[in-house]
Amino acid sequence: RRCYHAAEKPGTGRIQIGKAEIKLDTAAAGGVRVLKIENLNFSYGERPIVRDFTHDVLRGERIGILGANGAGKTTLIKLLTGALQPDSGTVTIGTNVEMAFLDQLRGELKSELTVGENIASDRDEVVVGGVRKHVYSYLADFLFTPERVRTPVKALSGGERARLMLAKLFLKPSNLLIMDEPTNDLDVATLRSLEEGLQEFGGCVMVVSHDRWFLDRIATHILAFEPGGRTTWFEGGYS
């Protein structure tokens, strides 16, 4: 098995994985207000999950979303992405906002296809930041050897599936990146590279995570879910 080692690239403070590093493709900037959320409410039966939530999400913010299991974090993400409709209230997407969403369940991966086919179908190249790149070279950024690129997704480990979802996500230019538990199953090297990429990302980021260290590294604000569908807004990271 080939071994990869994380190392800091001299003079840049960026983390490399082997000879590659994860970069996020940022779409052209839109307006200052990315999302306008007004009086959002959602309940499962008699149980309130999101209650009277109003907030403006602004360009450049990196928002960590945390709370106990079942508190409503994933429900809020689904409301913001349109996967769920609120009982009342509105979510208005700002001007020229391009959204990319990492689903916690990794449902977009096709298990019978290979890693390479999931990324580029039957093509040899992908376009990253307007630049053509061979699919093997692109996937090497996510620690996939040529042999693993030809491997069906159903044979991948949990960590490899997580890295493949990140590879799919980052092919889409966006200025609003929404991620539900992106650190699950990630190895340390990939996690560090993801942190560096998010810190340098030019758009807005919303991340659901239980990883306190990760949130301290990347978050400029914290949205904490409290019992009964209430939320509290904090400046800064988890600490």
Per-residue pLDDT of the chain (239 residues; tens, 9 = 90+): 333 333 334 433 333 444 445 666 665 666 789 999 999 999 998 889 999 999 999 999 999 999 998 888 989 999 999 999 999 999 999 988 989 888 754 667 899 999 999 999 889 999 887 889 999 999 998 989 999 999 999 999 988 988 898 898 888 888 999 998 888 888 888 888 889 889 888 889 999 998 999 999 999 999 999 887 788 999 998 88
Cα–Cα distance, 148 to 135 (Å, whole number): 12
* Class of residue 79 by CB neighbours under 10 A (exposed 0-12, middle 13-18, buried 19+): buried
Residues belonging to the chain = 239
The residue assigned the tokens 């996937």 is 139
User: pLDDT, tens digit, for every residue of 99-150?
Assistant: 988 875 466 789 999 999 999 988 999 988 788 999 999 999 898 999 999 9
* Pick from 77, 80, 81, 72: nearest CA to 47: 72
C-beta atoms surrounding 30 within 10 Å: 18
CA distance 22 to 217: 16
Instruction: Specify the pLDDT at position 192.
Output: 87
pTM of the model: 0.80
